[in-house]
Amino acid sequence: MAMTTDTGAASGPGLGERLRTGFGLLGPRHPRHTLTVEQADTLTLPIGDDGVVVGVNTEGQPAVLGVNRPTPYDMVLIGGLWTAQVLALRAAATGARVAVETGRAQAWMPMVHAMGGGQNGLAVYDVGRVPPQGASAGTPVLVVRDCGMRPPRGRVVSAPWQSVLTLLPYLSPVAPRLMRQARLVGVQRVSPDEAAEIGRVLGLPRPEIDSLPSLQDGVTLWCTDRDRQYVMTQATDSEVGLLGVARRMD
């Protein structure tokens, strides 16, 4: 069996129909390009998906979060500030602009100063004061909403090339709504009661519900509609120097 791509000029019956229905222009004649199935297996790229490396999965492979997307993308992290700040740093390192909406600006200012006073990809705003970001394919944006247990509805929402990450320190009355609306949900260590409620909302199997109260610092269970992965976020030396070691509590 072989995979074949024919770039030769078309002729014979059906030519008029192909041209009329728009299946492409006729090009110069070239030999047929044929690969065996074994050769096709070698056509791989030595890179993963484009995005932010959030850690390693249970198999030790890089776990990549694609935050720069041409469609609106909402994420929720029920976890610690440390993980959200690592994600913000790494998103900025990929070229995204990061806008942080927070009621605790003092917790984010060391990052702002370390990155050049807000001139190099990260800016901090009071709750409800995030201006329009003008996101585009050339300047994607990540909005981090660090607004406590009951974040108000944001003025700046997800949009093409503008993703939103909402940080919740614990499960709150608004959390189920936010989780249902999100395309991606991350859960760190929570209480058994919180784990049961999160499992109900996300449809988690019993073993994963039982694991949530005992997750280590830095471990997140990332959930989509189709996939779930445990990911360990390992800080670099520079991240440890700026943010300290991984921790669930702030």
Who contacts 101 (Cβ-Cβ below 8 Å, separation ≥6)? 125, 126, 127, 128, 129, 130, 143, 144, 145, 146, 147, 154, 156
| CB 63, CB 53: distance < 8 Å | yes
Q: Which residues, listed in sequence order, are joined to residue 135 by a DSSP beta bridge?
A: none
The low-confidence residues of the chain, meaning pLDDT below 70, are 1-50, 117-120
Q: Which CATH code for domain 52-243?
A: 3.40.50.300
This prediction has a pTM of 0.79
pLDDT computed for residue 187 by the predictor: 98
Coil vs helix vs strand at 229: strand
Residues 163 and 73 sit within 8 Å (Cβ to Cβ)? yes
User: Please, which residues bridge with residue 55 across strands?
Assistant: 63
pLDDT value of residue 250: 80
Amino acid at site 142 = L
What pLDDT sits at residue 211?
97
Q: Domains of the chain: which residue ranges?
A: 2-40, 52-243
Total length of the chain:
250
Query: Would you state the pLDDT for residue 8?
Result: 42
| CB-count exposure of residue 230 (10 Å: 0-12, 13-18, 19+) | middle
Per the listing, tokens 């249902």 go with 180
What per-residue confidence (pLDDT) applies to 121?
Answer: 86
Instruction: Encode pLDDT of 202-221 as tens digits.
Output: 999 999 999 999 999 999 99
Give the integer Cα–Cα distance in Å for 37 and 3.
Answer: 7
Q: pLDDT digits over 10-38, tens only? A: 444 554 544 344 434 444 444 444 545 55
Confidence (pLDDT) at 7 = 41
Contact at 8 Å (CB) between 173 and 150? yes
